[in-house]
C-alpha cells in the first residue's frame, strides 16, 4: 500500500493540475459525463470543466448526470434542481430503482431506492428519469453509456484524503486520475481533484464566488461530517440523530416510511459504548474460543439479509486470506486482527474491502489470547 513517503510534490498547485487532467480527459475520450451529487467535490469538478470549456472556446453542452438516492437532505435536492434547466448543461436527473442498503444497530439490509412496492420518502421531481426494473451500480453505468463503443469517461469528485480506502484505491492506479471500469472496457473513471484537500475545495469556491449547497453550513454548526450521502447508509446512519436538527422534515419523512430507523437514531451511540465488545466476547465464548468462528457465527445469527450475509462473509474470508499471506514475527496479525475485523462487521463496514490496520492494541492480543512477548 502507498504511504506518504510515496507522494510526489510538484511545483504547480492542485488547481493547475486539475485543469490539466480535465484537458487530458476531454482530449482522450469521445464522451464525458460529470457525476454530480450536489456536494462540494462534484460541484468543483463541474465548475472546473466550465473553466476548461470557456478557456478553449468549447460551446458544446456539458454532460451532467445526477442520481437521486431518495433518502437525501431536502436542501441537496432543491440545490440540484436549480441546475437541471441550465442551458449550459445536458442534465440527466435519474430517480430510479437502485440497489442500496439500510443500516440499523449493526445489521445491514438491502434497500431498493424508489421501490415501486412501498411509499416513497418524497415524490419524484417532474424532470426525473425512471428506468425499467432494478439497477445495480454496474447496470446503471452500462445504461448510461447505452452500448456505446466510444471511449467514455465519468468524472467523479473523489479525493484521496477522504479515507484510507480512497487513498489506497487512487494510488494503486498507474495514472492516479484515471481508473478503468473492469466490466465496461471502454469506460474510465476520471478523478481530477484526487489530490485536493477539503480546504482546497472551499478555497476554490470562495475565490471563484461559487454558491454551494447550504447543507454544509448546517453541518458545520451541528458539528457533523460534511457529507451528502444517503442518510441510512452504514456510515451516515451512525449519525442519523443529527438529521433531527439539520433536516427535521427529512427525519419525519424517513420515520413515515421506515419507522424502525428510529431505533438506530435513539440507541446507536449507547450500543457502540462497550456493547460491541461484549457481543464479540459473547460469540467467542459461545463457539468455544475460536475468534474467526465467532465472527461467522455472528454473521449467521445477526445478519438475516442473504445478500448482506454473503457480502460480510466474503469480506471476512478476504481479510483472513490476506492475513495468512502477510503474517510474520514483526506483523503478528498481518494487518487484520480478528477483533478489528469483527468490529468492522458489527459496524457494517463491509460494503467495500476491509482495509488493514497498522495498529497493535492490547485488546487485539487479548481477544486472540496472544502474548505481546516474542
**Is the model's pLDDT at 218 over the cut of 80?**
no
Say how many CA atoms lie within 13 Å of 200 toward its Cβ: 19
How far, in whole angstroms, is CA 55 from its chain's centroid? 32
Under the banding of pLDDT at 50, 70 and 90, the label for residue 179 is confident
Which distant-in-sequence residues (6+ apart) come within 8 Å of 278 by Cβ?
A: none
Average pLDDT, the chain: 84
Question: How sure is the predictor about 1, in pLDDT bands with cuts at 50, 70 and 90?
Answer: very low
Identify the CATH assignment for 4-207 out of 3.40.1160.10, 3.40.50.10440, 3.40.50.620, 3.40.630.10: 3.40.50.620
Percent of the chain at pLDDT > 70 equals 82
Contact by Cβ (8 Å): 353, 317: no
From CA 336, how far away is CA 316, in angstroms rounded? 10
* Helix residue ranges per DSSP H, 36-185: 40-56, 74-84, 137-145, 164-171
Domain extents in the chain? 4-207, 275-367
**Residue 31 to residue 33: CA distance in whole angstroms:** 7
Neighbours of 299 (CB within 10 A): 22
β-bridge partners, 62: 89
**More reliable by pLDDT, 262 or 204:** 204
What digits encode the pLDDT tens for the residues 335-371? 999 999 998 888 777 777 888 888 889 999 999 988 7
**pLDDT at residue 273 in the model:** 53
Entry pTM? 0.74
Distance between CA atoms of residues 226 and 69, nearest Å: 17
- Cα 312 to Cα 135, 268, 298: the distances in Å are 21, 20, 10
pLDDT band at 158 (very low <50, low <70, confident <90, very high): confident
pLDDT tens for each residue of 278-331: 889 999 999 999 999 999 999 998 888 888 889 889 999 999 999 999 988 888
Residue 165 C-alpha cell reads as 480506502
Which range has the worst mean pLDDT, 67-76, 141-150, 238-247?
A: 238-247
Residue 180: φ, ψ to 5°: -75, 145
Amino acid at each position: 500500500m502507498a504511504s506518504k513517503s510515496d507522494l510526489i510534490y510538484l511545483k504547480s498547485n492542485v488547481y493547475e493540475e486539475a485543469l490539466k487532467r480535465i484537458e487530458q480527459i476531454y482530449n482522450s475520450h469521445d464522451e464525458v459525463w460529470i457525476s454530480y451529487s450536489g456536494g462540494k467535490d462534484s460541484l468543483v469538478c463541474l465548475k472546473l470543466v466550465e473553466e476548461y470549456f470557456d478557456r478553449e472556446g468549447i460551446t458544446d453542452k456539458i454532460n451532467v448526470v445526477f442520481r437521486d438516492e431518495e433518502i437525501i437532505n431536502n436542501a441537496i435536492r432543491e440545490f440540484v434542481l436549480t441546475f437541471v434547466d441550465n442551458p449550459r448543461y445536458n442534465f440527466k436527473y435519474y430517480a430510479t430503482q437502485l440497489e442500496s442498503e439500510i443500516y440499523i444497530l449493526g445489521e445491514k439490509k438491502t434497500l431498493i431506492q424508489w421501490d415501486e412496492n412501498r411509499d416513497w420518502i418524497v415524490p419524484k421531481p417532474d424532470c426525473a428519469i425512471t428506468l425499467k426494473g432494478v439497477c445495480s451500480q454496474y447496470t446503471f453505468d452500462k445504461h448510461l453509456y447505452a452500448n456505446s463503443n466510444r471511449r467514455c469517461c465519468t468524472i467523479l469528485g473523489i479525493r484521496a484524503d477522504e479515507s484510507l480506502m480512497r487513498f489506497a484505491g487512487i494510488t494503486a492506479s498507474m495514472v492516479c486520475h484515471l481508473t478503468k471500469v473492469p466490466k465496461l472496457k471502454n469506460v474510465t473513471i476520471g478523478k481530477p481533484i484526487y489530490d485536493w484537500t477539503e480546504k482546497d475545495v472551499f478555497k476554490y469556491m470562495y475565490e471563484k464566488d461559487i454558491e454551494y449547497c447550504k447543507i454544509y453550513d448546517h453541518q458545520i454548526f451541528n458539528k457533523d461530517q460534511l457529507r451528502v450521502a444517503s442518510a441510512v447508509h452504514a456510515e451516515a446512519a451512525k449519525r442519523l440523530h443529527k438529521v433531527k436538527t439539520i433536516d427535521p422534515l427529512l427525519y419525519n419523512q424517513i420515520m413515515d416510511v421506515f419507522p424502525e430507523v428510529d431505533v438506530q437514531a435513539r440507541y446507536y451511540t449507547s450500543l457502540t459504548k462497550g456493547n460491541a465488545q461484549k457481543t464479540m466476547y459473547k460469540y467467542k465464548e459461545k463457539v468455544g474460543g475460536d475468534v474467526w468462528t465467532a465472527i461467522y457465527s455472528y454473521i449467521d445469527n445477526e445478519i438475516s439479509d442473504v445478500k448482506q450475509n454473503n457480502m460480510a462473509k466474503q469480506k471476512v474470508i478476504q481479510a483472513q486470506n490476506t492475513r495468512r499471506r502477510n503474517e510474520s514475527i514483526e506483523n503478528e496479525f498481518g494487518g487484520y486482527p480478528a477483533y478489528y475485523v469483527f468490529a468492522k462487521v458489527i459496524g457494517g463496514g463491509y460494503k467495500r474491502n476491509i482495509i488493514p490496520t497498522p495498529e497493535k492494541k492490547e485488546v487485539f492480543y487479548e481477544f486472540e489470547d496472544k502474548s505481546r512477548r516474542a
